[in-house]
Amino acid sequence: MLGDAQSFTLQEAPIMAVERTLSIIKPDATKRNLTGKINAKFEDAGLRIVAQKRIQLTMAQAGQFYIVHKDRPFYGELCEFMASKPVVVQVLEGEGAILKNREVMGATNPADAAPGTIRAEFAESVGENSVHGSDAPETAAEEIAYFFSGLELVG
């Protein structure tokens, strides 16, 4: 039946929204000259870098960015690490970009990260794990606005 055929087609080819997500290449990776290799993985996965800058965070800026983790035992060490060397903050755009970025990154702990992911290949430890990625649409919007103005998102 035509109706069945139509619903089958829709289920097989869901329309994914174009999203933007915040990515950070962390100090352990910028220090080891891995920015290009990491961004090749994002671009090969179909993610487009629509904004990008290399900056060094202050402790206060790192602390505010990771404020959601303020009661976790690793918070102080995390903030010190993030402020220790330059980072590259960037906005990735693409269909389903938030989840896709997380897939390309791999699990937080590199020991659990799938082969071929950034963290499996490059991360040094659960703390010094090379990349950050937003985890949901709300946090992506907040985190992008933390680092970029609308004028800096150039597509």
Token pair 């990008």 is found at 52
Active site residue 132: yes
CB-nearer residue toward ligand CDP: 51 or 82: 82
Residue 49 contact, options ligand CDP, Mg ion, none, Cβ 5-8 Å cut-off depending on partner type: none
**Strand 87-95 to 48-55 pairing:** antiparallel
- Give residues 8-27 in contact with ligand CDP (rule: CB under 6 A): none
Nearest C-alpha neighbor of 100 from the set 130, 67, 140: 140
Give the count of beta carbons closer than 10 Å to the beta carbon of residue 83.
Answer: 17
Could you say whether residue 100 binds ligand CDP (CB under 6 A)? no
CB-nearer residue toward Mg ion: 73 or 150: 73
Stretch that binds ligand CDP, among 11-19, 110-118, 126-134, 140-148 (CB under 6 A): 126-134
Q: What span, in angstroms and rounded, lies between the C-alpha atoms of 128 and 135?
A: 18
Single residue of 132, 140, 147, 148 touching ligand CDP by CB under 6 A: 132
Spacing of C-alpha 11 from chain mean position: 28
Q: What span, in angstroms and rounded, lies between the C-alpha atoms of 153 and 77?
A: 31
Could you say whether residue 129 binds ligand CDP (CB under 6 A)? yes
Nearest C-alpha neighbor of 101 from the set 141, 140, 133: 133
Report the Cα–Cα distance between both ends of the chain, in Å, rounded. Answer: 43
Could you say whether residue 99 binds ligand CDP (CB under 6 A)? no
Spacing of C-alpha 153 from chain mean position: 16
Could you say whether residue 108 binds ligand CDP (CB under 6 A)? yes
Residue 129 contact, options Mg ion, ligand CDP, none, Cβ 5-8 Å cut-off depending on partner type: ligand CDP
Q: Which of 132, 133, 143, 147 is catalytic?
A: 132
Could you say whether residue 78 binds ligand CDP (CB under 6 A)? yes
Positions in the binding site for ligand CDP (CB under 6 A):
69, 74, 78, 108, 126-127, 129, 132, 135
